[in-house]
């Protein structure tokens, strides 16, 4: 029987000081994606079968590099698996730095648990090798139910499993002009950053050229490193956008605790939800209180709630008390949003 996971997390959003480094990043200073193809060995009969022709061909080619010639048709081992290896090369990474890598099976292996990745070149989009990965795989080993059963995973990680062989050239030392890119476009935030930085340096060092980009000019007598450090450490008054995040796969709802719902009436299946505009709500003999300012009419299945007390979080709690399934709660919230009674952004993941 499929089990639904229902959870509500509360995020208190209020006006506060936020460091610029949490809101923006320097243009050009970013991670680079790396990818490679390799083999995992040492599996206990859970590797790719003979139907995965690319796996046996890869093993044959590998053995030839150590002067062992064998026809791929003669390879019957199930202790190997073909995998794709991925990693992120951070900005300013230098030769000898270590990277975490993710290893994912691409054949018909049942599990790569306990395997060892053989040396695998990791390339960038330009085709150049930037790192070499190798090592023993680490996997979760437990399924999501916490009962200890193996889930026969076909993906794992190798912490610090790759060594950087080539760095991405980025000359920041001699630059006089830089740009900040906001993580989320906002005219207001862009102007706040511009005003705060100009006030901090007591000269016009920043200008917002659009709601996502701020152009910076390094002051004389200050190194680029010091300039960027002061910028990223500066505080601005910031009010994050209210947002409701819904994971339809797990039934998880993440909402700000103060996201209110305007007066609305919605019918979903056998339940009618009525959010009253009045604070005066008298309880009849057919109504039962299920929480502060919330009642349920047992005869008409009407959930009544006062306007001033209704937020997404306490509506979800009330529906949960009534036994509503996560998918029904999600449908109700999405419908209320479409009706315009919720002003916060709703994001489905």
pLDDT of residue 344: 78
DSSP for 176-238, written as a single string: SEEEEEESS--HHHHHHHHHHHHHHHTS--EEEEETTEEEEEPPTT--HHHHHHHHHH-EEEE
Residues 6+ apart with CB under 8 A from 169: none
Distances (CA, A) of 82 to 54, 59, 107: 8, 9, 6
pLDDT of residue 259: 79
Q: What is the Cα Rg of the chain in Å?
A: 28
* pLDDT-wise least confident of 59-68, 120-129, 245-254, 336-345: 245-254
Which of residues 73 and 89 earns the better pLDDT score? 89
In this structure, are residues 221 and 230 in contact, taking their beta carbons and an 8 Å threshold?
Answer: no
In the chain the domains, ranked by start, together with CATH numbers, are 16-28+171-238 (3.30.1360), 32-164 (no CATH), 243-348 (no CATH)
> Could you give the CA distance from residue 282 to residue 264 in angstroms, rounded to a whole number?
18
> Could you give the CA distance from residue 23 to residue 232 in angstroms, rounded to a whole number?
9
207 CB-contact burial (10 Å; exposed 0-12 / middle 13-18 / buried 19+): middle
Read off the pLDDT of residues 264-273 as tens digits, 9 standing for 90 and up: 888 888 777 7
pTM: 0.65
> Could you tell me the pLDDT band of residue 58, with boundaries at 50, 70 and 90?
confident
Read off the pLDDT of residues 84-107 as tens digits, 9 standing for 90 and up: 999 999 999 999 999 999 999 998
Distances (CA, A) of 248 to 63, 64, 326, 346: 47, 49, 8, 12
* pLDDT-wise least confident of 37-41, 93-97, 316-320: 316-320
Read off the pLDDT of residues 9-21 as tens digits, 9 standing for 90 and up: 444 444 467 899 9
Average pLDDT over the chain, rounded to whole?
Answer: 80
Is residue 126 scored above 70 in pLDDT?
yes
> Could you give the CA distance from residue 312 to residue 8 in angstroms, rounded to a whole number?
10
């Amino acid at each position: 029987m499929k089990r639904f996971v229902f959870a509500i997390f509360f995020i208190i959003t209020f006006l506060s000081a936020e460091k610029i480094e949490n809101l923006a990043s320097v243009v050009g200073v970013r991670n680079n994606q790396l990818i490679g193809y390799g083999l995992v060995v040492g599996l206990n009969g859970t590797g790719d079968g003979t139907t995965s022709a690319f796996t046996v061909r890869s093993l044959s080619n590998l053995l030839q590099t150590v002067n062992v010639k064998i026809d791929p048709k003669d390879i019957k081992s199930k202790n190997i698996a073909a995998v794709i290896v991925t990693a992120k090369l951070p900005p300013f990474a230098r030769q000898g730095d270590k990277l975490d890598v993710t290893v994912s099976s691409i054949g018909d292996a049942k599990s790569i648990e306990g395997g060892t990745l053989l040396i695998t070149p990791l390339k960038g989009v330009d085709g150049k090798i930037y790192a070499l990965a190798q090592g023993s795989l680490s996997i979760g080993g437990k399924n999501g139910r916490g009962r200890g059963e193996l889930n026969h995973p076909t993906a794992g990680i190798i912490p610090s499993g790759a060594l950087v062989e080539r760095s991405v050239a980025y000359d920041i030392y001699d630059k006089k002009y830089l740009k900040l890119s906001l993580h989320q476009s906002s005219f207001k935030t862009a102007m706040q950053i511009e005003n705060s930085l100009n006030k901090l340096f007591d000269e016009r060092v920043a200008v917002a050229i659009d709601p996502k980009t701020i152009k910076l000019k390094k002051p004389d007598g200050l190194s680029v490193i010091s300039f960027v450090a002061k910028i990223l450490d500066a505080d601005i008054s910031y009010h994050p956008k209210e947002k409701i995040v819904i994971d339809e796969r797990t039934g998880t709802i993440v909402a700000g605790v103060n996201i209110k719902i305007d007066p609305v009436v919605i019918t979903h299946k056998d339940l009618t939800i009525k959010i009253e505009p009045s604070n005066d709500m008298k309880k009849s003999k057919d109504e039962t209180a299920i929480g502060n300012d919330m009642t349920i009419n047992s005869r008409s299945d009407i959930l009544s709630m006062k306007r001033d007390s209704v937020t997404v979080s306490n509506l979800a709690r009330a529906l949960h008390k009534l036994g509503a399934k996560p998918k029904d709660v999600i449908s109700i919230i999405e419908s209320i949003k479409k009706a315009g009674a919720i002003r916060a952004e709703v994001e489905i993941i």
